[in-house]
């Protein structure tokens, strides 16, 4: 029997000109309660999870792969529709959100209840791979499976970030791709509205 856990929120992914790549998950509605977490990959490949609690760290760390896990306060604010700010331990981030590209318009046109269903997500897996190089469904850690019901997409237009007060540089593609495990973010810095379903064996 499989247990399904559904996380509803946003994923923001960006590279920086220093080579550090950042993936922020902001989950107002989840089985663990509202929370945000950050996956960071440093230029040399070191992977860090910034998690707000042991429960989140255990769950995310069992689904993805990290070299280091830090328990820190993770604060996300959205003062307006075009700005995201993040404070998480050593990391500070401010991101500006731009318009939807053509793919975002297509995703937005699909009714949200349909976009979240496993059957629809599975149907989109091949087109998503061709368009973005990413899968919408696949294997995760510890025998788990994940599916991403993406409902909207906006490009990022600017990023300012620091790590331990050292500037990380400006906006850059997520290159090379992050290596936390199944799923990723598009190479173009973006924020997506998504329902992630984790299937537990």
Q: Judging by DSSP bridges, how do beta strands 35-41 and 47-51 pair with one another?
A: antiparallel
Give me the residues paired with residue 161 across strands: 93
pLDDT above 90 (res 154): yes
Phi, psi at 86, each rounded to 5°: -140, 135
* Contact indicator for 157, 170 with CB cutoff of 8 Å: no
pLDDT tens string 168-200? 999 999 999 999 987 678 899 999 999 988 888
pLDDT band per the 50, 70, 90 thresholds, residue 35: very high
| Average pLDDT for the chain | 91
- Sign, Cα dihedral of 115, 121, 124, 125: positive
| Total-model pTM | 0.91
DSSP alpha helix (H) spans, the chain = 54-63, 102-109, 112-115, 118-123, 125-132
pLDDT tens string 100-150? 998 888 888 888 888 887 777 777 777 777 667 677 777 877 788 888 888
State residue 118's pLDDT score.
76
pLDDT above 90 (res 92): yes
Angle made by CA atoms 59, 125, 182, in degrees to the nearest 5: 30
């Amino acid at each position: 029997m499989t247990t399904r856990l559904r996380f509803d929120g946003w994923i923001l992914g960006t590279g920086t000109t220093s080579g550090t790549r950042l993936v922020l998950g902001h989950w107002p509605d989840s089985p663990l309660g509202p929370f945000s977490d950050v996956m960071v990959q440093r230029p040399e490949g070191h992977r860090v999870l910034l998690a707000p609690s042991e429960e989140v760290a255990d769950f995310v760390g069992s689904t993805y792969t990290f070299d280091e896990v830090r328990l820190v306060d993770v604060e996300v604010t959205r003062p307006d529709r075009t700005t995201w700010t993040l404070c998480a331990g050593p990391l500070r981030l401010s991101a500006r959100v731009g318009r939807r590209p053509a793919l975002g318009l297509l995703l937005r046109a699909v009714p949200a209840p349909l976009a979240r269903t496993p059957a629809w997500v599975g149907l989109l897996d091949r087109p998503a791979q061709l368009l973005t190089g990413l899968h919408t469904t696949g294997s995760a850690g510890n025998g788990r499976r994940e599916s991403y019901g993406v409902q909207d997409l906006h490009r990022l237009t600017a990023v300012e970030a620091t790590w331990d007060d050292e500037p990380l540089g400006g906006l850059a593609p997520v290159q090379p791709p992050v290596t936390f495990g199944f799923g990723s973010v598009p190479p173009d810095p973006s924020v997506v509205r998504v329902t992630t379903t984790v299937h537990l064996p």
